[in-house]
Chains A and B, each alone.
Chain A
């Protein structure tokens, strides 16, 4: 049976759409451009909608439902509708400032994250993505009643599909996303149940004034991640080490020294365009505290280590030569262990 690729315009309410059945398959260059357009779409397109997100751990699933109101280029409000414990909480991001309000507990928190609304961050991500992932265009499917082109992001080195995107045919907004574990099973899924493209959002939606009587809790102030790796390592206050081995495609994208109650910490941030990896180091050389939850133990090359998994994310901690390390990323324990082994000074 002959297979046809269809290209069609979006149907207007009353008329029957003009449809042709013979259309060329997009060339690889087009699929990368499509992904890029999708990443940049929120800067140009405003919308309101409802998103459901489900995340699967080893034995359980957690879901949230949020109403989202976005005004291009960078004003976004998210209100939690589910689960019950989060109902009514909302956060408003204007550029790099995020205000989070918890009406039940009468608390508000404001944080700053300069790299979140930043062309350099966006470009870095896009470049890494194109270098490490092949964008494979798939069939058109319907999401929230709208035709969307599916694009699979396949790791060039392992051949594994890491994510799939559903990109709205007309606006290029990402209507749904799925991310997968190593074994191909779903790690999390996010999709618009409803979406309406409109810029007519009442300005009151983005009002960040903290309600009367609310306790303001100071939020995090993220510094700019430094691009000068060597200088950051030099300033760590101890002899820092970085891993000799990283999975294919991972590059360091930032480094930061910080001080907390007299303790100097180094944070190295790596990405391959989709997955992010953090390496924390300090010279406190003491057992980390997981509270009442017992981490699992593992062992590599003469080192005892502890780990916990939170959905697709694994945290691995160990100590040696007077330094304490923690690795966090969306990688399985085996990969994190391999990285950890290569960190050994």
Chain B
């Protein structure tokens, strides 16, 4: 950002086609996944953008016939986790500790993007709010299990953890959401 200059390298035609098709077919799903993980548009945009850049750079390593979406979700999940770790580490080094425990979430913006169509979207509705009550890992697992409908094994592959961990995070997250959703249903009926 600003000071070092990188040499220019035009993309090969194959790589460019791969990237274009990827964004065309999976851009929306990836962006929505990133949004549900991060809870805000700006971070979601940064995460999505960075993920597609990775996809472009690693395009040769994608095995045709396997799930592209699983691949990019794994990239997004890893990027998100790396960001959180990076922030956590730096912050603890440099800010004097106080006594209150804190949980740091949210990603540092990774790249740049303008904003679109804000007025059309007075959204960020109930789902976003419900997900905001969960920890990052719980959010990941709920989105992958209940919204993206992956199997526990697939989720374990994407998140890079064991099935047992997937299971326990999912149970905890669903327990938290259950009370919320059920109360809301009752209110809607009354």
Residues in A lying within 8 Å of B, measured CB to CB: 2-4, 6, 8, 11, 13, 16-17, 19-22, 48-50, 52, 54, 56, 60-63, 67, 81, 83-85, 136, 138-145, 147, 150, 152, 161, 164, 166, 176, 178, 180, 184-186, 189, 191, 193-194, 196, 198, 200-202
Contact = CB atoms under 8 A, between A and B. Distances in A.
Contact of A21 (B3, B103, B184): B184
Contacts of B125: 3-4, 139
A323 B55 CA distance: 58
B40 A141 contact: yes
Contact of A13 (B94, B101, B115, B179): B101
Contact of B128 (A54, A62, A141): A141
Contacts of A13: 101, 103
A256 B113 CA distance: 39
A184 B118 CA distance: 10
A161 B126 CA distance: 25
Given A50-B90, A61-B112, A138-B124, 15 more contacts: A4-B126, A8-B133, A16-B179, A21-B126, A21-B183, A21-B187, A22-B187, A52-B109, A62-B2, A63-B2, A83-B3, A144-B104, A144-B105, A184-B114, A193-B108
Contacts of A81: 94
A143 B106 contact: yes
Contacts of A61: 1-2, 112
Contacts, number: 140
A68 B27 CA distance: 36
B24 interface: no
Given A8-B129, A147-B132, A185 B2 contact: no
Nearest to A139: B124
Which size bracket describes the interface of B in this complex? 35 or more
Contacts of A48: 95-96
Contacts of A185: 114-115
A191 to B, nearest CB: 7
27 contacts: A3-B125, A4-B184, A6-B129, A13-B103, A21-B187, A50-B87, A50-B95, A52-B108, A63-B1, A81-B94, A83-B1, A83-B2, A138-B121, A140-B129, A141-B124, A142-B38, A142-B40, A144-B106, A145-B104, A152-B119, A161-B119, A166-B40, A184-B116, A185-B114, A193-B87, A193-B91, A198-B98
B53 to A, nearest CB: 15
B147 interface: no
A144 B122 CA distance: 22
B112 A194 contact: no
Contacts of B103: 13, 145
A161 B129 contact: no
Given A61-B112, A189-B109, A16 B176 contact: yes
Contacts of B41: 141
Contact of A196 (B40, B98, B124, B126): B98
Interface of B: 1-3, 38-42, 87, 90-91, 94-96, 98, 100-106, 108-109, 112-116, 118-119, 121-126, 128-129, 132-133, 176, 179-180, 183-184, 187-188
Across the A-B interface, the 9 shortest Cβ-Cβ residue pairs: A139-B124, A145-B105, A185-B114, A142-B39, A141-B40, A63-B1, A21-B184, A6-B129, A186-B114
- Secondary structure type dominating chain A contacts: strand
A161 B187 CA distance: 36
A191 B1 CA distance: 17
Contact of B106 (A3, A85, A139, A193): A193
Nearest to B39: A142
A139 B113 CA distance: 19
Contact of A17 (B108, B112, B118, B133): B133
B122 A138 contact: yes
A150 B129 CA distance: 13
Contact of A139 (B104, B116, B123, B133): B123
B91 A50 contact: yes
B112 to A, nearest CB: 5
Contacts of A184: 114-116
Nearest to B123: A139
Given A16-B176, A184-B115, A60 B132 contact: no
B118 A152 contact: yes
Contacts of B118: 138, 152, 161, 164
Contact of A202 (B1, B96, B133): B96
A198 B100 contact: yes
Nearest to A152: B118
